[in-house]
Amino acid sequence: MSLLRVNNLRVVFETPYGQVKAVDGVSFEIERGEVVGLVGESGSGKSTLGLSIMKLLPPNARILSGQVIYNGVDLLRLKEDELRKIRGKEISMIFQDPMTTLNPTMRVGEHIAEALMYHYNMDKEEAWRIAKEVLESVGIPAERAMDYPHQMSGGMRQRVMIATAIALKPKLIIADEPTSALDVIVQDHILELLKDLRDRNKASIILITHDLSVTADIADRVLIMYAGRILEVGTVEHIYYHPHHPYTQGLLKSIPKLGSKSELYIIPGSPPDMTNPPSGCRFHPRCPYARGICMKEAPPLVKVEKGHLVACWLYIER
């Protein structure tokens, strides 16, 4: 049985400008110890998908349908107090901006110690001892456990958040753009930490990113998301060396190449207005291969080879 199975999830946001169809019929699974990269431009629905799994959506969001089956239990049917027992202990999330999630009035070690006391009924002394150990495991000296978040650099705060996320040894970690605010060297350290976590704790990781290249070194599989839907799924090798979907091909072409003097490729057009998304294939206004049917009917995800799925009419015989 997969660790997590998302079935036909549909999520909307009610806004003054209309209903934003953020996630529209998304299904995927993640196995134990697997790292899945969830890649798409901003506004593609990938962060909403991550928040839906944790049921941490803002008040104007509505889950219209679907299931999020974790270890055989549909998280969407659980009550808030049942979910609180799962969040942090079983599933945890790392956000892009630690300042929005770390409490500025709490010492960094306290974030971890409190979670240990809440979930494991640990006494304070033991919880602080472990908190310092976990901070050290992400490269933060134990004496910095008494610092407040504002006393640390951006890279250190991100490590604190990772330490908080891994302290309870969760089975699933959802990391939402965990490196995009950091410089390349710190970025590398954070990815190394995530890899280590997967190896040591056999944790599964969903790595949400707009940057396809971030997934190359760490992900087993990649899911490409566009305008609320998944367009392509495959192993890292499939996506990098045999991308089928025109959008994935565009994303790959837009990765800067070391030493290349040619101008950087940009996918033409811009992401759609999700209050009124394009009919049929949502990528059709930007696709160089669009034809009649693309504007009328949304292509289903079909298998092009083992483990490689694509939603594009170019690969469907009619």
Q: Which is nearer to ligand SF4, 60 or 276 (CB)?
A: 276
Burial of 197 (0-12, 13-18, 19+ CB in 10 A): buried
Q: Residue 50 or residue 246: which is nearer to ligand SF4 going by CB?
A: 246
Residue 111 vs 245, nearer CB to ligand SF4: 245
Smallest distance, Å, CB 45 to ligand SF4? 17
- 245 vs 308 by CB, closer to ligand SF4: 245
The smaller minimum CB distance to ligand SF4, of residues 127 and 287, is found at 287
Q: Please state the closest distance from residue 271 (CB atom) to ligand SF4, in A.
A: 14
Q: CB of 36: closest distance to ligand SF4 in angstroms? A: 22
Q: Please answer whether residues 286 and 226 qualify as being in contact, where contact means their C-beta atoms are separated by less than 8 angstroms.
A: no
The number of angstroms, rounded, from the C-alpha of 22 to the middle of its chain's C-alpha atoms is: 15
Q: Exposed/middle/buried for 257, CB within 10 Å: 0-12, 13-18, 19+? A: exposed
- Please name the residues in contact with 304: beta carbons below 8 A apart, sequence gap of 6 or more: 244, 310, 315
Residues in touch with ligand SF4 (CB under 6 A)? 245-246, 281, 283-284, 287, 289-290, 294, 299, 312-314
Q: Order of strands across the sheet with 18-30?
A: 18-30, 4-15, 61-70, 73-74
| Smallest separation (angstroms) from ligand SF4 to the CB of 29 | 24
The nearest distance, CB 268 to ligand SF4, in angstroms, is 12
- Is 141 or 268 the residue whose CB approaches ligand SF4 more closely? 268
* Per-residue exposure over 105-118, b if at least 16 CB sit within 10 Å of its own CB, e if not: eebbbbbbbbbbbe
CB 318 to ligand SF4: min, Å: 12
φ, ψ for residue 171 (rounded to 5)?
A: -85, -25
Residue closer to ligand SF4 by CB (options 222, 290) is 290
Beta-carbon count within 10 A of 236 CB: 18
| Smallest gap from residue 280 Cβ to ligand SF4 (A) | 7
